[in-house]
């Protein structure tokens, strides 16, 4: 197999054009998937026998929580690549992922609280999984704060990569907290081996929501990486050329 | 080995000349614990229930106090650059500096904690508190030292440091206070203490090198 196309992606201009083509597709597919998932989840699927209609928040909460962890893992991997091979795009990825991950962590916490009030009788309990997710939010905010404190973009990205790597210990703790400790949070319903403990009718929209949210995140991260690439390379020939072409076509003023 | 001793002696001598700086953490610790005692109802028996959390939070806040000055003076007068260029492993240098930091600020907190616990009315669990702090404060110095290395060159690093360090030290707080609470309610405190020991082992092996990379990054910036 020929890998040159992959190596070429490491160059900012090639990546920029690649992302420009890919991002609309990711966005479009995610809109279709999420529209189906939420319509099916909120309207078509029958209410749960125990939790009644309150269970429907699963179609927002579970994808948000899953993505909050997945994005942190992705940020840590990008950070390792940035530190070991000093790849510019991996540095951009670290910076780009942090705000997206922070928003999804906040979304998971807020939807969880809204669900917790009718189910547990309290918005917040000091429980292993909830606390670990909150710490995850603080870690994301720390990365964002650190990124903005540096003047030099490359030094900022490498510092953030280090912080992300040291904080990555938290990810398995959040994921396994329900199994390790007697957590109030319920166990996993679908992401486990064997049969899902959920009827297929309810599970299919959830899978669609998971995939749709993941694609939406991918699209947002690509767009943010494009912005970061443009910001860093604003004085290079290819960015100037692209800018003047846009001006000629009248797309921007 | 000579290098280790020479560096350690340098750190301790510098500290001996700036005594107030190193007397601050234990003083701060005592003041925070006293304020809790004053804020509660006089001789409130409930205070003993909160004692594990109060003592541990006071200890980790006190440990954060001196962190900002850990690498900054050496960066400003060029010592750190010389150590970087000297060919010795920067990770080792960082490890020695952090050891000195713990000897000067962490150890005094460990020794002060038991009298402070008695003042708060903590009856059982003093042993778990002592051992927990003995294992936990070096981990605080290491994790805090890593964050101090990350932010050393930054003009606004002082405000950023606690914000970055506190989420990283949450596990130390959870298991440290957990051990005292377990002992208080007559349970076995061994499991959380083993967790603390595991965290410390992980920190000792990984953090000095991560901090060394962070310091090199600060030179590039």
The H-assigned helical ranges of chain B are 2-17, 19-39, 47-65, 72-76, 79-85, 90-101, 107-119, 126-150, 157-184, 190-220
Inter-chain touch A152–B163, beta carbons under 8 Å: no
Q: Which residues of B touch A165 (CB under 8 A)?
A: 210
Interface residue ranges in chain A relative to chain B, Cβ cutoff 8 Å: 83, 131, 135, 138-139, 141-142, 145-146, 149-152, 154-156, 158-159, 162-163, 165-167, 169, 173
pLDDT tens-digit readout, A9-21: 888 889 999 999 9
C-alpha distance across the termini of chain A, in Å = 44
Give the ipTM: 0.87
Q: Is the dihedral of CA A178, B136, B98, B160 positive or negative?
A: positive
pLDDT tens-digit readout, A108-148: 999 999 988 888 888 888 877 888 889 899 999 999 999 99
Q: Which two tokens stand for residue A44?
A: 């078509």
User: Closest residue of A to B203, CA-based?
Assistant: A166
Residues sharing a CB contact under 8 Å with residue A197, sequence separation 6 or more, in sequence order: A189, A190
pLDDT tens-digit readout, B54-85: 899 999 899 888 888 888 888 888 888 888 88
Inter-chain touch A138–B167, beta carbons under 8 Å: yes
Percent of chain A with pLDDT over 90: 47
Inter-chain touch B221–A165, beta carbons under 8 Å: no
C-alpha distances out from residue A116 to A108, A111, A168, A205, Å: 12, 8, 27, 22
Which of A104, A99, A111 minimizes the C-alpha distance to A185? A111
| CA of A84 vs chain B CAs: smallest distance (Å) | 11
Q: Which two tokens stand for residue B63?
A: 């440990």
Q: Which residues of B touch A167 (CB under 8 A)?
A: 167-168
User: At A181, phi and psi to the nearest 5?
Assistant: -110, 160
* Packed helices B126-150 and B190-220: angle between N→C axes, nearest 10 degrees: 20
pLDDT tens-digit readout, A157-170: 999 999 999 988 87
C-alpha distance across the termini of chain B, in Å = 32
């Amino acid at each position: 197999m020929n890998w040159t196309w992959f190596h070429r992606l490491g160059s900012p201009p090639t990546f920029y054009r690649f992302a420009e083509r890919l991002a609309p597709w990711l966005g479009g597919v995610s809109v279709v998937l999420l529209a189906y998932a939420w319509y099916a989840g909120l309207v078509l699927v029958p209410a749960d026998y125990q939790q009644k209609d309150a269970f429907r928040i699963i179609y927002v909460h579970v994808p948000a929580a899953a993505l909050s962890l997945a994005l942190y893992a992705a940020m840590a991997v990008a950070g390792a690549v940035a530190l070991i091979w000093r790849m510019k795009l991996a540095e951009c990825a670290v910076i780009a992922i942090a705000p997206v991950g922070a928003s999804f962590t906040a979304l998971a916490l807020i939807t969880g609280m809204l669900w917790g009030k009718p189910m547990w009788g309290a918005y917040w309990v000091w429980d292993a999984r909830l606390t670990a997710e909150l710490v995850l939010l603080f870690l994301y905010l720390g990365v964002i704060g650190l990124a903005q404190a540096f003047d030099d973009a490359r030094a900022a990205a490498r510092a953030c990569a280090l912080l992300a790597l040291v904080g990555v210990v938290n990810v398995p703790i959040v994921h396994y907290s329900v199994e390790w400790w007697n957590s109030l949070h319920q166990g996993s319903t679908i992401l486990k081996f064997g049969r899902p403990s959920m009827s297929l009718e309810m599970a299919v929209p959830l899978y669609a929501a998971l995939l749709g949210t993941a694609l939406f995140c991918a699209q947002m991260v690509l767009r943010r990486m494009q912005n970061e690439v443009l910001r860093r390379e604003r004085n290079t020939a290819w960015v100037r050329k692209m800018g003047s072409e846009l001006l000629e076509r009248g797309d921007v003023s | 080995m000579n290098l280790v001793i020479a560096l350690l002696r340098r750190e301790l001598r510098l500290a001996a000349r700036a005594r107030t700086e190193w007397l601050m953490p234990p003083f701060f610790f005592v003041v925070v614990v006293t304020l809790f005692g004053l804020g509660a109802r006089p001789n409130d028996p409930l205070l003993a229930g909160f004692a594990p959390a109060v003592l541990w939070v006071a200890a980790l806040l006190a440990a954060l106090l001196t962190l900002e000055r850990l690498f900054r003076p050496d960066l400003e007068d060029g010592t750190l650059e010389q150590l970087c260029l000297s060919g010795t492993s920067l990770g080792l240098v960082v490890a020695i500096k952090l050891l000195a930091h713990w000897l000067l600020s962490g150890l005094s907190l460990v020794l002060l904690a038991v009298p402070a616990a008695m003042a708060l009315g903590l009856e059982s669990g003093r042993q778990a508190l002592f051992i927990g702090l003995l294992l936990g404060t070096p981990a605080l110095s290491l994790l805090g030292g890593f964050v101090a290395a990350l932010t050393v060159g930054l003009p606004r690093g002082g405000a950023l440091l606690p914000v970055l360090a506190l989420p990283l030290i949450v596990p130390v707080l959870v298991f440290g206070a957990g051990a005292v609470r377990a002992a208080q309610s007559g349970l076995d405190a061994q499991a959380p203490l083993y967790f603390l020991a595991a965290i410390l082992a992980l920190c000792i092996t990984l953090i000095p090198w991560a901090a060394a990379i962070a310091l090199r990054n600060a030179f590039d910036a």
